[in-house]
Amino acid sequence: MTPLKKLSCDICTTSFTGDTFDAWFKQMQAHYMNDHADVMASMADKPKSEGEAWVAAAKKRFNAAQ
């Protein structure tokens, strides 16, 4: 069984737990849409590569978590 990892949001102190990056990311995505809608809206006009870079950094942070 894969151990659960707990990481906080990179904007606020809310934390989410998941055994895989996808499970954790799904929670973060819902959190961003509800609690950080302004950030999500500001990303709409940014290049897709910026969003992909954010996801890559989040995955790196998840993988490094204990």
The per-residue pLDDT for range 8-56, each reduced to its tens digit, is: 999 999 999 999 999 999 999 999 999 999 998 998 889 999 989 999 9
Which runs of E-coded beta strand occur in 1-66?
Answer: 5-8, 15-18
The whole-model pTM stands at: 0.84
